[in-house]
Amino acid sequence: MNPNQHFPQLLAAAAAEPEPQRLLFVFAGAELPDNATPEQNARFRSGRGGALAPLMCVDKAPRDLADFAALVSEAERAGPPWSVVFAASLSGQAGRPPDKARIDLALETMTAAVRDGRFGGFAAYGPEGEFLEIR
- pLDDT tens-digit map of 22-45: 999 999 998 887 888 888 888 878
In this prediction, residues 125-131 reach a mean pLDDT of 94
How remote is the C-alpha of 82 from its chain's centroid?
10
pLDDT in tens, 95-107: 999 999 999 999 9
User: What is the domain count for the chain?
Assistant: 1
In this prediction, residues 43-53 reach a mean pLDDT of 80
The 8-class DSSP code of residue 10 comes to H
Mean per-residue pLDDT over the chain, rounded: 91
pTM above 0.75, yes or no: yes
Whether the pLDDT of residue 2 is over 60: the answer is no
- pLDDT of the residue at 32: 83
Domain hosting 58: range is 3-132
Q: List, in sequence order, every beta strand (DSSP E) within the chain.
A: 21-31, 51-60, 84-91, 123-125, 131-132
The 8-class DSSP code of residue 93 comes to B
Confidence of residue 13 (pLDDT cuts 50, 70, 90): very high
- pLDDT of the residue at 120: 85
Whether the pLDDT of residue 115 is over 90: the answer is yes
The 8-class DSSP code of residue 105 comes to H
- pLDDT of the residue at 122: 96
